[in-house]
Amino acid sequence: MMFWVEVQSGNLHSRSTYYYLVLSSLLMLFSFAQKFSALLLLRLAYQSLGVVYGDLGTSPLYVFYNTFPHGAKDREDVIGALSLIIYSLTLVPLLKYVFIVLRANDNGQGGTFALYSLLCRHANLKIIPNQHRTDEELTTYSRATIHERSFAAKTKRWLETHAFNKNSILMLVLVGTCMVIGDGILTPAISVLSAAGGIKVNRPDVDSGVVVLVAVVILVGLFSLQHYGTDRVGWLFAPIVLLWFLLIGGIGMYNIWNYDSSVLKAFSPVYIYRYLRRGGREGWTSLGGILLSITGTEALFADLAHFPVSSVQIAFTLVVFPCLLLAYSGQAAYLLLNLDHTKDAFYRSIPEKIYWPVFVVATAAAIVASQATITATFSIIKQALAHGCFPRVKVVHTSKNFLGQIYIPDMNWILMILCIAVTAGFKNQNQIGNAYGTAVVLVMLVTTLLMILIMLLVWHCHWILVVIFTLTSLVVECTYFSAVLFKVDQGGWAPLVIAGVFFIIMYVWHYGTLKRYEFEMHSKVSMAWVLGLGPSLGLVRVPGVGLVYTELASGVPHIFSHFITNLPAIHSVVVFVCVKYLPVYTVPEEERFLVKRIGPKNFHMFRCVARYGYKDLHKKDDDFEKKLFHNLFVFVKLESMMEGFSDSDEYSLYGQQTVESTSSNVDLSISTVDSIVPVRSPSPVNITVQSSDRVSSHTEVDELEFLNNCRDAGVVHILGNTVVRARRDSRFYKKIAVDYIYAFLRKICREHSVIFNIPHESLLNVGQIFYV
């Protein structure tokens, strides 16, 4: 505006000169913005090193030992193994994950449940049907449109039609999640133990038990400090990992030059064929060790957090990938002249003068890698919890600035105990490596299968591209999977047992949650019955507000009828509160609450739906009750305004034929003060709408005053305690799952009252039992 005034005042007489200056200014601003964005991108790429690539970067500590646990027999074997490592790093982390899978992130969130959430938004795959069409209007509920005649539409209909398909996808996601949890146990064990093994290399007289003890001490310290979060020390991660990559890359270049540069011929894939042909079964099973060179790839996706995909791609292509190639090539060059040194190839190839500084950096990098994996485990458990697939556990936000940084105390100590058990129990990097490889390859297979659906339903890729991606991924991963199967009895059983236990826990919990929701749905109370009770609901209405918590987003829950048939009084205002999680990473604060009225005004009954994403935390809302009442008051005001200016005089909730649909769908919904969804009632009118602003305002003030008085009189939180039991004629495995496993999990998990932060003196539990 100031610039335009200057033009008019005579400083610029020519309109063409003015346009030229404006264009020049825009070009300068664009150039500055490009430069600024490039610098910001490089900064984010630098920061992503400490969060995303720690696990992948520490693999050189143990790959060659797990590939040749008894030493290499021939120089050609070393070159063949290096060639396999080079092309494994190229095909899986570089091509598949960095340039394809990372694009399938859910608004910056990665992992198996993020892929599942993305699929649930594009197809009706969610087994618990608690979503409403208003949820699709959220700003974070992004999805692409599908043409009816496309192959994607046919795939979508096929998936939605059969319940078996939905269950299969959920079980696939649970398997991937369980393997990530196993990864969170095995990564700290093998990384820290391999780093601590450097003590014995330089001091051969040190007993192996001392190395294990040092590793255990480091692990105990690592898990004990988890409750502080990474916000305070996170700034150290990036420089540590960057220094680590520069060191292993520099040492690799030195070893190639100092020992044998002919190792570079491993870049020819011919040596892969020669290695597998010459090695036979032993060469095939050694692929389990080669697989460890790409461990951390799945953590790369799970730890994506809020880093832009382009910054992660830059970090990998400019720093991680070349440094890893140099590190492995340098170790191979050293092994060509020292075939029996495969056990400690990394430490033995370090120049003597910098041995201890590298040992310190290696230990620090192993700790950072372990921290990143533990954080990814916490994150995916939180996502499973939001999808109703994990028992309720305490989740703590460790950072006020970053939403994704969380700490789960119960899981932290379980992970620590299992991690120490693996470290002290195996005492051998080779056996831990076998277990680690099994977990990694199974997660990769799950990601590949989910990516097929992502490419069809979300990206709408041509089927030829989907086939190319599928065949390439499955050939590589199934090859590695067949190799680790030979090592199940050599440590590979560990992740299978761990994953099996967690899978049973998660599946049984989800089954119980689903049955409880189905019971709520099938036994919800008819609105005709509620309206037949009259404004007093057949009871004495005492001053106060009753918040009735339910899992139903529509209809009146069975707990309400159970409550009013066993007690002589009910509160003057009743609000049905539904806290539900949606398949989105977060729900903005201003869109979180939906409020609607149930029945006529003189019933003073409302419904409030609080919506959360899988990264949101309900406990973070310390003033949840305050926000709920604020949205309730805003709803009353907006409802009164709509009555005064509505173009329809049809508003009724009487009539048995239309009552249920009216209450189950939408009467009046708001998400913000500025967002109003006007609704026409499907039934004929029995209530005359007042057109006078004065009458409307008077009614509004009266109801707001009434609500305030009831709130001041006291708020009572009414929770349903539904007990699930198996029928007497059920099969024995169902009785074990429901009566013992699910009952035990409900007993040890956190109560709803604790999660909702309800004061004990304001809590009222209503119990009921149903049989499945």
Q: Helix 163-196 to helix 112-122 angle, to the nearest 10 degrees?
A: 160
Predicted pLDDT of residue 531: 76
Q: According to the model, what pLDDT value does residue 679 have?
A: 32
Q: What is the DSSP letter of 305?
A: T
Classify burial at 539, counting beta carbons within 10 Å of its beta carbon; exposed 0-12, middle 13-18, buried 19 or more.
Answer: middle
- Out of 471, 493, 515, a domain closes at 493
* Stretch 439-465: mean pLDDT: 91
What does the alpha-carbon distance between residue 152 and residue 461 come to, in Å, rounded to a whole number?
Answer: 9
Q: What's the pLDDT band for 622 if we cut at 50, 70, 90?
A: low
Euclidean distance between CA atoms 80 and 268, whole angstroms: 9
Distance (Å, rounded) from C-alpha 228 to C-alpha 250? Answer: 34
Distance of alpha carbon 531 from alpha carbon 659, whole angstroms: 9
Mean of pLDDT values over 153-159: 85
Higher pLDDT pick, 659 / 596:
596
What is the per-residue burial (b if ≥16 Cβ within 10 Å, else e) of 670-706? bbeeeebeebebebeeeeeeeeeeeebeebbeebeee
Tell which wins on pLDDT, 364 or 11: 364
The verdict on 359 and 483 lying in the same domain is yes
Whether 604 is covered by a domain: the verdict is: yes
CB atoms within 10 A of CB 397: 16
Q: What percent of the chain is modeled with pLDDT above 90? A: 25
Three-state helix/strand/coil letters over 470-503 = HHHHHHHHHHHHHHHHCCHHHCCHHHHHHHHHHH
Q: Which of 476, 493, 510 represents a domain boundary (last residue)? A: 493
Question: Is residue 250 over pLDDT 90?
Answer: yes
What pLDDT digit, counting tens, does each position of 14-55 carry?
Answer: 444 434 434 454 444 345 345 447 787 888 888 888 878 888
User: Is 485 found in the same domain as 356?
Assistant: yes
If DSSP codes are grouped into helix, strand and coil, which group holds residue 371? helix
Number of domains forming the structure of the chain: 2
Q: What is the CATH number of the domain that holds 243?
A: 1.20.1740
Average the pLDDT over each of 12-26, 320-334, 343-357 and give the range with the smallest value: 12-26
pTM confidence score? 0.82
Look up residue 673 and give its amino acid.
V
Q: Which residue has the tokens 């916000």?
A: 231
Task: Please check whether residues 531 and 447 belong to one and the same domain.
Answer: no
Q: Are residues 466 and 603 in the same domain?
A: no
Q: Which residue has the tokens 């007093």?
A: 536
> Comparing 756 with 181, which gets the higher pLDDT?
181
Higher pLDDT: 176 or 11? It is: 176
Same domain, 488 and 539: no
CA distance 37 to 51: 21
Angle between helices 234-258 and 15-52 (to 10 degrees): 80
Can you list the alpha helix ranges (DSSP code H) found in 590-655? 624-645
- Range with top average pLDDT, 167-176, 530-539, 653-662: 167-176
DSSP classification of residue 665: S
Distance of CA 699 to the CA centre of its chain: 46
Q: Give dist(CA 254, CA 258) in Å, integer.
A: 6
- Give residue-wise pLDDT tens across range 697-739: 445 568 888 888 888 888 888 887 778 888 888 888 888 988 8
Residue 631 one-letter amino acid: N
Report the SS3 class of residue 538: coil
Q: Is residue 675 part of a domain?
A: no
Q: Any idea of the CA torsion for 120, 121, 124, 130, to the nearest 10 degrees?
A: 90
More confident residue, 724 or 682: 724
Contacts of 195 (CB under 8 A, 6+ apart): 58, 61, 359, 362, 363, 365, 366
With 60 as the cut, is the pLDDT of residue 358 above it? Answer: yes
pLDDT number for residue 643: 65
Say if CB 561 and CB 538 are below 8 A apart.
Answer: no
From 473, 493, 513, give the residue that closes a domain: 493
Whether the CB-CB separation of 324 and 89 falls below 8 Å is answered with yes
Averaged pLDDT, 110-135: 82
Q: What is the percent of the chain with per-residue pLDDT over 70, rounded to a whole number?
A: 84
Task: Check residue 46 and give its pLDDT.
Answer: 86
Domain that holds residue 629: 524-641+709-771
- Mean pLDDT for the stretch of residues 474-498: 89
Mean pLDDT of 615-644: 77
Distance CA 575, CA 593 (A): 13
Please state the separation of Cα 300 from the chain's center in Å: 13
- Residues 418 and 546 grouped into a single domain: no
Q: How far is CA 678 from CA 154, 593, 650, 666, in A?
A: 35, 17, 12, 10
In the chain, the largest separation of any two C-alpha atoms, in whole Å, equals 96
Q: How far apart are CA 54 and CA 61, in angstroms?
A: 12
Same domain, yes or no, for 347 and 448? Answer: yes
In this model, does residue 649 exceed pLDDT 50? no
- The pLDDT assigned to 403 comes to 61
Domain identity same for 713 and 593: yes
Q: Which residues are paired to 689 by β-bridges?
A: none
Helix (H, G, I), strand (E, B) or coil at 599: coil
3-state secondary structure 406-445: EECHHHHHHHHHHHHHHHHHHCCHHHHHHHHHHHHHHHHH
3-state secondary structure 681-731: CCCCCCCCCCCCHHHHHHHHHHHHHHHHHHHHHCEEEEEEEEEEECCCCCC
Do 417 and 463 fall into the same domain?
yes
Same domain, 532 and 483: no
Is residue 456 assigned to a domain?
A: yes
Is residue 531 a contact partner of residue 653, using CB atoms and an 8 Å limit?
Answer: yes
- Answer yes or no: is pLDDT of 101 > 70: yes
703 domain residue, yes or no:
no
Say if CB 632 and CB 703 are below 8 A apart.
no
**Beta strand pairing status for 669-672 and 605-612?**
unpaired
Question: Are residues 536 and 444 both part of a single domain?
Answer: no
* Residue 422 is assigned to a structural domain of this protein: yes
Has residue 31 been placed in a domain? Answer: no
Q: How many CB atoms lie within 10 A of CB 532?
A: 11
Asked, for residue 479, whether it belongs to a domain, the answer is yes
Confidence of residue 755 (pLDDT cuts 50, 70, 90): low
Between 317 and 71, where is the model more confident? Answer: 317
For residue 578, list its beta bridge partners. Answer: 550, 609
- What is the Cα–Cα distance from 497 to 109, expressed in whole angstroms? 28
- Asked if 342 and 66 touch (Cβ cutoff 8 Å), the reply is no
The answer to whether residue 592 sits within a structural domain is: yes
Considering the domain architecture, whether residues 395 and 276 belong to the same structural domain is answered as yes
Average pLDDT over residues 222-241: 79
pLDDT digits (tens, 9 = 90+) for 574-585: 999 888 888 888
